[in-house]
C-alpha cells in the first residue's frame, strides 16, 4: 500500500513562461495569415447545399457575392419570412435591383479584371427556384455570366 506523504513534500519549481510569447506569436501568425475579414454582415439565415464537383475560388478580388435566404429573426417583422435577396448590407426589394448592383460592383473593379468577374451565389438550400431564376435572368441581363453556386463539400458519395 502506498502511503500518503504528509506535508513538506518536494517543492515544485515554477514553470518557466519565457516561451509563452513565442507560442502565442506562432498562433497569432497562423490566424493572421488564414484570416479573411467578413465581407458583410449577413442579414439572412443560410444553410449551404451540398455538392461534390466544387472549385475553389482562387482570386478573391474577382469574386462578388450575392446572398439569398430567409431574413434573420430580428428582421422578420419588417421583411417577412419569405426568401429575400441581400446585396451588400441591405435587402433588395426586387430581383431587378441585382442588375444595378452588378454594374456598381463592376465599376469598382480594376478595368483588366472586369471581364473575369465571378458572382458567387450564396443561397439557402431550401430556397425555391423562382426567385433564383429571376436573379439569374438579372445576372444575364447585366452580363455577369460567370457564376458559382456556393456549396459545401459532400463527404460520402451516397
Partner 1 sequence: MGKKREVQEINASSMADIAFLLLIFFLVTTSMATDKGLLRVLPAPMPKDQEIVDDNVKIKERNILQILVNSNDELMVNGQPMEISKLREKAKEFIVNPSNSEELPEKEIINVDYYGNVGVTKSHVISLLNDRGTSYQVYLSVQNELVAAYNELRDEMCKKKLSMSLEDLASSKDEKDKDKYDVLTKKVYPMKISEAEPKSYGKEGGN
Residue whose CB is less far from partner 1, 24 or 90: 24
Asked whether position 42 contacts partner 1 by CB under 8 A, the answer is no
Q: Tell me how many residues contact partner 1 (CB under 8 A).
A: 56
Report the candidate in 93, 68, 35, 44 with the shortest Cα–Cα distance to residue 147.
68
Residue 89 contacts residue 76 (beta carbons within 8 Å):
no
- Tell me how far, at minimum, the Cβ of 107 lies from partner 1, in Å: 19
Residue 44 contacts residue 90 (beta carbons within 8 Å):
no
Q: Which cell numbers hold the place of 37?
A: 475579414
**CA R_g for the chain:** 25
The stretch near partner 1 (CB under 8 A) out of 2-10, 23-31, 87-95, 101-109 is 23-31
Binding site for partner 1 (CB under 8 A): 17, 20-21, 24-25, 27-28, 31-32, 34-38, 49-57, 63, 82-83, 118, 120-121, 123-133, 136, 139-141, 143-153, 158
Amino acid at each position: 500500500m502506498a502511503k500518503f506523504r504528509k506535508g513538506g513534500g518536494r517543492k515544485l519549481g515554477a514553470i518557466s513562461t519565457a516561451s509563452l510569447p513565442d507560442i502565442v506569436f506562432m498562433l497569432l501568425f497562423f490566424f493572421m495569415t488564414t484570416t479573411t475579414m467578413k465581407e458583410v454582415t449577413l442579414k439572412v439565415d443560410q444553410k449551404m447545399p451540398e455538392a461534390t464537383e466544387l472549385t475553389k475560388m482562387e482570386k478573391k478580388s474577382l469574386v462578388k457575392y450575392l446572398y439569398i435566404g430567409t431574413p434573420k429573426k430580428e428582421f422578420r417583422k419588417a421583411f417577412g419570412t419569405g426568401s429575400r435577396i441581400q446585396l451588400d448590407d441591405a435587402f433588395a426589394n426586387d430581383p431587378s435591383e441585382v442588375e444595378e448592383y452588378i454594374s456598381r460592383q463592376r465599376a469598382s473593379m480594376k478595368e483588366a479584371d472586369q471581364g473575369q468577374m465571378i458572382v458567387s451565389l450564396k443561397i439557402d438550400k431550401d430556397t425555391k427556384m423562382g426567385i433564383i431564376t429571376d436573379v439569374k435572368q438579372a445576372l444575364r441581363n447585366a452580363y455577369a455570366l460567370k457564376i458559382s453556386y456556393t456549396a459545401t463539400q459532400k463527404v460520402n458519395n451516397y
